[in-house]
């Protein structure tokens, strides 16, 4: 702090009141002046220089001998069960830093989360945690978070919110659509809450939005496999890897799981001298490119052309006649593409191609290439999206158009900020201004919350309950590691209240697991034991991942019945797919391999 009590005098800085009272004579002791320490002054004598030198040596020694003030620690009056002062407790939960849903272990001291690590029992992250996941504990204590709900900028209580909004939503339901905009939702219980909400408001619609969209990946499987599926890439089964513009070790599609498998496949001692061969084709240097055996720098506009050229060469090696247009690559890149194709072909059934483009045509070419290499069922598993609300770019664009046309009467936004991240923020702002009722359900203020008339702040994920479907019969749980620090509430619980249901979201999750998941297992006799084990470990698994994929074949096969949930029966379908100007038509079947 600064003291300017004396006019014309230089300011005196002090840390607290005690510090100010302890040095009434000024910064330097008697006999020393500020001018004395002007070492760069050429008029200083040798005696004065030695005085300064001696002062700088003696003073630190004297100050280090000062007794540290005694700080008294007060014990608990009513200590919570399981809390021991000085002893850390660890909780298993699921990260909400991105859509990967990695397993976490949260370290708490005296009831407060202080450190985050990976959960070794996690099905895919295997104990890994990225920098984003470890930093999420900081956002829990962010002072910018909402303190309480508000209506039109005025403080309100949750009772006032719950009394006002059901009527406002019913009026909006009669005028147009009620839209809930969220990120990707992979929670079966949350999807169940949305179904209950739609039962109360018939014009309700749920739209998912991801600023860093993977919509092209899911759309491409609809074209090539007839199924909007979520892929799981298994580097543990790969011997050769081609990545075209996908920084899978940095930020692309769940880098933690990729990094764990990649490090294991590149361990010479563990694999007896063999090592995964990694080829990276990219325009900008990335974490993945810096670790590649062969990095091929290309223009951003040439990444798609290199993928097409590799597809042409692999198709020739597989003796498949595909109509693929010529590319404008130079001879150097064509030669490199031939080398890459031979390497992939020599490791077929153990090869994997990743594409980081968000263009459907590029992803379709990557799917075709993986099919020719026999990757489906070995290095790629496909899982249905019944329990996951994945984003679809077309739905977001449609929402903006409908808002601009006045067809949306109420907009609820949770955990996304389209007013900042949407490609055309001006278009979003103009369209959202025509929505009469705007409700923001996020935990902190942002550009989207500024236009909302109702602010209904949600919990931080470290204060919340939730569940997650990871595919292949695997589920994880999010559990609170601390009581809510502010007057916030999970947005799922808010939706239940406004739909006329009084149960908490925790009770809703338990009822969902009791009805849908508990009957599938045979380990626990009681639901309490089953639930406690899932909370302790952070999740559960019913069976090993199904090894299945749709294999493209130029012949018909006998159809087999569907035998297990999540598996695709064997069937024939004709599809046309390929790059712009390419029409590739073949029949295919889906088969399950053990």
- Of the candidates 570, 222, 137, 590, the one whose C-alpha atom is nearest the C-alpha of residue 394 is 222
Whether the Cβ atoms of residue 193 and residue 505 lie closer than 8 Å to each other: yes
Q: How confident is the model at residue 124 (pLDDT cuts 50, 70, 90)?
A: confident
In terms of Cβ atoms closer than 10 Å to its own Cβ (0-12, 13-18, 19+), residue 71 is exposed
pLDDT in tens, 445-500: 999 999 999 999 999 999 999 999 987 788 999 999 999 999 999 999 999 999 99
**Which residues make Cβ contacts (< 8 Å) with residue 238, sequence separation at least 6?**
265, 276, 347, 350, 351, 352, 379
Say what angle helices 188-200 and 491-498 make with each other, to 10 degrees: 30
Whether residue 593 is predicted with pLDDT greater than 50 in this model: the reply is no
Above pLDDT 90, what percent of the chain?
62
Q: Which 8-state DSSP code applies to residue 145?
A: S
**Which residues make Cβ contacts (< 8 Å) with residue 79, sequence separation at least 6?**
none
Whether residue 343 is predicted with pLDDT greater than 70 in this model: the reply is yes
Q: Which 8-state DSSP code applies to residue 55?
A: H
pLDDT in tens, 178-206: 999 999 999 999 999 999 999 999 999 99
Whether the Cβ atoms of residue 480 and residue 465 lie closer than 8 Å to each other: yes
In degrees and rounded to multiples of 5, residue 494 shows phi and psi of: -65, -40
Q: Can you tell me the distance from the alpha carbon of 463 to that of 490, in angstroms, rounded to the nearest whole number?
A: 9
- Of the candidates 116, 7, 68, 52, the one whose C-alpha atom is nearest the C-alpha of residue 538 is 116
| Tokens matching residue 71 | 């700080």
pLDDT in tens, 542-577: 764 443 444 443 333 333 333 333 323 222 233 333
Domain 215-387+546-592: give its CATH code.
3.40.228.10
Q: Identical fold at 150-213+391-541 and 215-387+546-592?
A: no
In degrees and rounded to multiples of 5, residue 90 shows phi and psi of: -115, 135
Instruction: State mean pLDDT over 524-552.
Output: 75
- Of the candidates 386, 468, 564, the one whose C-alpha atom is nearest the C-alpha of residue 122 is 468
Whether residue 58 is predicted with pLDDT greater than 80 in this model: the reply is no
Instruction: State mean pLDDT over 327-345.
Output: 95
Map residue 172 onto helix, strand or coil: helix
**For residues 91 and 385, which has the higher predicted lDDT (pLDDT)?**
91
- Of the candidates 514, 298, 494, 323, the one whose C-alpha atom is nearest the C-alpha of residue 415 is 494
Cα angle 86-87-90, degrees, rounded to a multiple of 5: 135
Q: Where are the domains of the chain?
A: 2-64, 150-213+391-541, 215-387+546-592
Instruction: State mean pLDDT over 129-148.
Output: 94
Whether the Cβ atoms of residue 527 and residue 509 lie closer than 8 Å to each other: no
Q: What is the pLDDT of residue 78?
A: 80
Q: What is the pLDDT of residue 24?
A: 52
Q: Which 8-state DSSP code applies to residue 70?
A: P
- Of the candidates 283, 282, 273, 248, the one whose C-alpha atom is nearest the C-alpha of residue 262 is 248
Q: Can you tell me the distance from the alpha carbon of 260 to that of 276, in angstroms, rounded to the nearest whole number?
A: 13
Q: What is the pLDDT of residue 84?
A: 83
Q: Which spans in 517-590 are helix H? A: 527-537
Q: What is the pLDDT of residue 567?
A: 29
Whether the Cβ atoms of residue 231 and residue 254 lie closer than 8 Å to each other: no
Q: pTM, whole model, 2 decimals?
A: 0.79
| End-to-end CA separation in angstroms for the chain | 71
Q: What is the pLDDT of residue 45?
A: 76
Domain 150-213+391-541: give its CATH code.
3.40.50.740
Q: What is the DSSP secondary-structure string of 498-526?
A: HTT----HHHHHHHHHHHHTGGG--S-SS
| Tokens matching residue 118 | 């990976």
pLDDT in tens, 250-283: 999 889 999 999 999 999 888 887 899 999 999 9
Q: What is the pLDDT of residue 228?
A: 83
Q: Which of 55-64, 149-158, 320-329 has the highest mean pLDDT?
A: 149-158
Instruction: State mean pLDDT over 241-247.
Output: 97
Q: How confident is the model at residue 592 (pLDDT cuts 50, 70, 90)?
A: very low
Q: What is the pLDDT of residue 548?
A: 42
Q: How confident is the model at residue 40 (pLDDT cuts 50, 70, 90)?
A: low
- Of the candidates 302, 260, 297, 301, the one whose C-alpha atom is nearest the C-alpha of residue 282 is 297
Instruction: Supply the mean pLDDT for the chain.
Output: 84
């Amino acid at each position: 702090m600064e003291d300017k009590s004396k006019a014309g005098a230089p300011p005196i800085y002090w840390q607290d009141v005690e510090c100010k009272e302890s040095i009434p004579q000024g910064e330097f002791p008697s006999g020393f002046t500020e001018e004395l320490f002007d070492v760069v002054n050429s008029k200083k004598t040798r005696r004065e220089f030695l005085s300064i030198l001696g002062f700088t040596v003696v003073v630190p020694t004297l100050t280090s001998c000062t007794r540290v003030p005694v700080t008294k620690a007060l014990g608990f009056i009513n200590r919570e069960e399981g809390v021991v002062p000085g002893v850390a407790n660890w909780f298993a939960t699921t990260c909400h830093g991105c859509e990967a849903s990695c397993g976490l272990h949260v370290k708490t001291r005296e009831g407060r989360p202080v450190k985050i690590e990976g959960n070794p029992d996690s099905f895919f992250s295997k104990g890994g945690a990225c920098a984003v996941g470890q930093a999420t504990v900081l956002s829990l204590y962010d002072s910018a978070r909402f303190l309480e709900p508000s209506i039109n900028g005025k403080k309100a209580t949750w009772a006032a919110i719950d009394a006002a909004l059901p009527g406002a939503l019913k009026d909006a339901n009669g005028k147009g659509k009620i839209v809930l905009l969220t990120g990707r939702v992979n929670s079966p219980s949350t999807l169940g809450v949305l179904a209950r909400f739609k039962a109360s408001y018939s014009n309700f619609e749920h739209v998912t939005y991801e600023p860093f969209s993977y919509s092209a990946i899911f759309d491409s499987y609809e074209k090539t496999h007839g199924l909007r599926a979520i892929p799981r890439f298994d580097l543990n089964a790969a011997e050769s890897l081609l990545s075209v513009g996908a920084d899978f070790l940095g930020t692309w599609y769940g880098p933690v799981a990729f990094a764990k498998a990649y490090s294991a496949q590149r361990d010479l001692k563990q694999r007896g001298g063999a090592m995964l061969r990694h080829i990276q084709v990219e325009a900008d240097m990335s974490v993945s490119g810096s670790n590649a055996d062969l990095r091929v720098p290309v223009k951003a506009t040439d990444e798609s052309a290199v993928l097409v050229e590799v597809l042409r060469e692999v198709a020739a090696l597989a003796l498949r006649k595909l109509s693929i247009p010529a590319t404008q690559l130079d001879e150097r890149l064509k030669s490199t593409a031939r080398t890459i194709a031979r390497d992939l072909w020599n490791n077929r059934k153990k090869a994997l191609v990743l594409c980081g483009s968000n263009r459907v045509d590029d992803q379709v070419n990557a799917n075709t290439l993986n099919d020719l290499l026999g990757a489906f069922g070995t290095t790629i598993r496909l899982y249905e999206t019944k329990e996951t609300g994945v984003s679809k770019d077309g739905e977001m664009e449609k929402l903006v158009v409908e808002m601009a046309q006045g067809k949306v009467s109420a907009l609820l936004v949770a955990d996304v900020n389209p007013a900042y991240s949407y490609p055309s923020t001006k278009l979003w702002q103009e369209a959202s201004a025509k929505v009469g009722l705007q409700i923001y359900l996020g935990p902190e203020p942002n550009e989207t919350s500024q236009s909302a008339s109702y602010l209904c702040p949600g919990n931080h994920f470290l204060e919340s309950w939730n569940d997650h479907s990871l595919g292949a019969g695997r589920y994880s749980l999010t559990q609170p590691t601390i009581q809510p620090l502010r007057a916030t509430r999970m947005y799922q619980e808010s939706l239940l209240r406004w739909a006329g249901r009084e149960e908490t979201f925790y009770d809703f999750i338990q009822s969902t697991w009791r009805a849908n998941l508990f009957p599938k297992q045979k380990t626990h006799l009681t639901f309490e034991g089953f639930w406690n084990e899932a909370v302790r470990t952070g999740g559960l698994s019913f069976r090993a991942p199904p090894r299945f994929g749709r294999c493209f074949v130029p012949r018909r096969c006998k159809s087999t019945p569907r035998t297990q949930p999540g598996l695709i029966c064997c069937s024939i379908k004709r599809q046309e797919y390929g790059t712009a100007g390419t029409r590739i038509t073949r029949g295919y079947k889906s088969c399950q391999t053990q």
